[in-house]
Structure 1
Amino acid sequence: MPSNKIIELLGDKTDFYLNHTCKTVDKKLLHTPSSSVIDNIWINSDRNIPTLRSLQTILKHGRLSNTGYVSILPVDQGIEHTGGASFASNPLYFDPENIIMLAIEGGCNAVASTYGVLSSVARKYAHKIPFIVKINHNELLSYPNTPQQILFGTVKEAWNMGAVAIGATIYFGSNDSRREIVEIAEAFEYAHELGMATILWCYLRNDAFIKDGIDYHSAADLTGQANHIGVTIKADIIKQKLPTNNGGFTAIKFGKTNAKMYSELTTDHPIDLCRYQVINNYMGRIGLINSGGESHGESDLKDAVITAIINKRAGGMGLISGRKAFQKPMKEGVELLNAIQDVYLDQEITLA
């Protein structure tokens, strides 16, 4: 039986989330997280030995060490959402050292942030917690702003500061997406040559993805295909928003579909929707981490735990949660990160 704290948070939704059985894609078909994921899955790939070592470095750090699951703190919102908007509620995070300290105190596997944040404290902390350098951003200050990710530095620069991985975003569906796909594919190739792992933020951006008042930017079918392109350019881990609905292709009337995508591979249950994302990651060979999303205040702890349960039971490998953690006092941020990790440590919460 899962912990009393988790059951208390779920309340009347306990059965809905913890006892759901996935009848779409059988869990036996999935490649699932484990302590031997490098030996069981990655050893068969073309990744070189230094890259495997970098992946193992992430997997062996923090409270989730040797489980195959990861909990990552991402703080690139100072660029993506403006520093003032991101840190007004907790100005101490304008100082990069406090970002690193939150990741360490929170028991995270790694910390992901910008060149500037990580390089400013690299000599002190790069050997204490794995660094993931986010190499591109939508800088937001250009007016009018357009969904366009641009490089902020070089892969070699990330390697020089001791990073074990690089992260990048592609805005799939945007007018700029084809340039970004080519650019990031090349960056990932070089990162692998240098022995760094690669993490791709597979986000969708297109005003046409909002149809009849319904937002399909996190639809399972659209995000699943974004994942499938992401693993094609050799992302080692895919970061994706938790699916909130489905039928983006059919509503917007583009792309190619098969009726079985909606009738047999998914249902409207959040775990089944998330499993559709997992299967598009080569049946889980490439790990799926879902984002924690924005902070909503008092509901953050419950929301984070539910997201972790959905991800884990669907076959994902963890959560990457930032704003829910750093937009509150550090002690509360640590508690939230630990609550997420407790879901993955709880052996009673199993694959659906």
Structure 2
Amino acid sequence: MTTKARDLGLGTGKKARLTRMLYRHGAGNGTALFLPYDQGLEHGPRDFFANPAAGSPSYIMKLAVEGGFNGVAVQIGLATKFYWEYAGEVPLVLKLNGKTEIPRDGAALSPVNATVEEAVRLGADAVGYTLYVGTPAQERDLEQYREVRQAAERLGMPLIVWAYPRGAAIEEHGGKDSFYAVDYAARVASELGADVVKVNFPHPEKRTGVRPPYEQEYSQQEAIGAVVRSANRSLVLISGGEKSGDDAMLEKARMSMEAGATGLIFGRNIWQRPHDESLRFAARLREVLDKYPR
């Protein structure tokens, strides 16, 4: 069954902000297309080499407006210095935590660097939190997540959880984008109170070391359908993931929406292209969303 923002039983603050994002921006039909731009922190400037113009946050903000996105997700520094010019034209999702890729280790923890109060001050319509499921630092991660969740509830701010399986134990059980790992992460985020869950598209063919019954053969449609169900009454956003052919990404978008997802969150797959090509691909994604009103 498709979960709708209006049926979540949320408080008025969260309901007002989610309704504004999903029904007054983008397609305006309850579906969503978000533009994340936290890769400069997560990966460094190397992600902008493919399209140097994308290194400018102003370029990204304008692209989000031009492309009819439901929101742009950025870290606190960029939100403070660049969002003001486009405030009210495109919703802001303030990412509250993040980490560099240095050092790379299995004990991933994404430290909190901003607050829900700052999100309110900046005019955000949601906050984002990256939760690493399965790492040795999971206990500390859940502690800082609890504080964010409580603040979001107190201030009526929708909470979007980037539910990411990580760590050596995950790699021993199919890998971070296996059906097992993605499905587990979606369930964890839902049980911990996420209003919206962001996950990668699952790969059911990755079965080495996974738990039963994930070692069985599943189609991609069966896998993404199970992930959406595991999120229960949390809305689901599917990530663009690693860049592949346009037709393959559009087909994954279609399967995601067919499974009951609320929408898509595509970053590098969009802004690493030249400007006009970015807008054309965003338009093709919106055509998929238009067929699945919520």
Do both proteins adopt the same fold according to a TM-score greater than 0.5, normalized to the shorter chain? yes
For 1:147 and 1:345, the matched residues in 2 are separated by 37
Q: Structure 1 residues 166, 64: closer, same or farther in 2, change over 3 A?
A: same
Say whether residues 1:77 and 2:39 are aligned partners.
yes
Aligned to 2:128: 167
Question: Rg bigger for which structure?
Answer: 1
Q: Which amino acid aligns with 1:325?
A: I
Aligned to 1:286: 234
For 1:124 and 1:218, the matched residues in 2 are separated by 37
Tell me the matched-pair count.
294
Q: Given the alignment, which residue of 179, 183, 202 partners 2:140? A: 179
Q: Secondary structure at the match of 2:287?
A: helix
For 1:76 and 1:329, the matched residues in 2 are separated by 19
Aligned to 1:303: 248
Q: Once the two structures are superposed, what CA deviation does each residue of 1:41-71 show, in whole Å capped at 9, x if it has no partner? A: 12xx2x3211110111111233311x22100
Aligned to 2:198: 239
Q: Which amino acid aligns with 2:42?
A: E
TM-score when scaled to structure 2? 0.92
| Paired residues of 1:96 and 1:120 also in contact (CA < 8 A) | no
Q: Which amino acid aligns with 1:294?
A: E
Say whether residues 1:346 and 2:291 are aligned partners.
yes
| Paired residues of 1:96 and 1:118 also in contact (CA < 8 A) | no
Q: Which amino acid aligns with 1:61?
A: R
Q: Which amino acid aligns with 1:235?
A: A
Q: Alignment identity in percent?
A: 26
CA RMSD of aligned residues (A): 2.3
| Paired residues of 2:225 and 2:259 also in contact (CA < 8 A) | yes
- Cα drift, residue 108 of structure 1: 0.7
Q: Once the two structures are superposed, what CA deviation does each residue of 1:66-92 show, in whole Å capped at 9, x if it has no partner? A: x22100001110011112x11111122
Unaligned runs of 5+ in 2: none
| Paired residues of 2:190 and 2:197 also in contact (CA < 8 A) | yes
Q: Which amino acid aligns with 1:324?
A: N
Say whether residues 1:54 and 2:17 are aligned partners.
yes
Say whether residues 1:324 and 2:274 are aligned partners.
no
The 4+ residue runs of structure 1 with deviation greater than 6 A are none
Aligned to 1:222: 181
- Write out aligned runs for 1:100-119 (5 A): 100-119=61-80
Q: Structure 1 residues 143, 251: closer, same or farther in 2, change over 3 A?
A: closer
Q: Which amino acid aligns with 2:177?
A: S
For 2:80 and 2:127, the matched residues in 1 are separated by 13
Aligned to 2:92: 131
Q: Which amino acid aligns with 1:115?
A: I
Q: Which amino acid aligns with 1:311?
A: S
Q: Which amino acid aligns with 2:15?
A: L
Q: Which amino acid aligns with 1:317?
A: T
Say whether residues 1:31 and 2:31 are aligned partners.
no
- Cα drift, residue 246 of structure 1: 6.0
Aligned to 2:281: 336
Unaligned runs of 5+ in 1: 1-29
| Paired residues of 1:112 and 1:132 also in contact (CA < 8 A) | yes
For 1:160 and 1:324, the matched residues in 2 are separated by 30
For 1:145 and 1:234, the matched residues in 2 are separated by 25
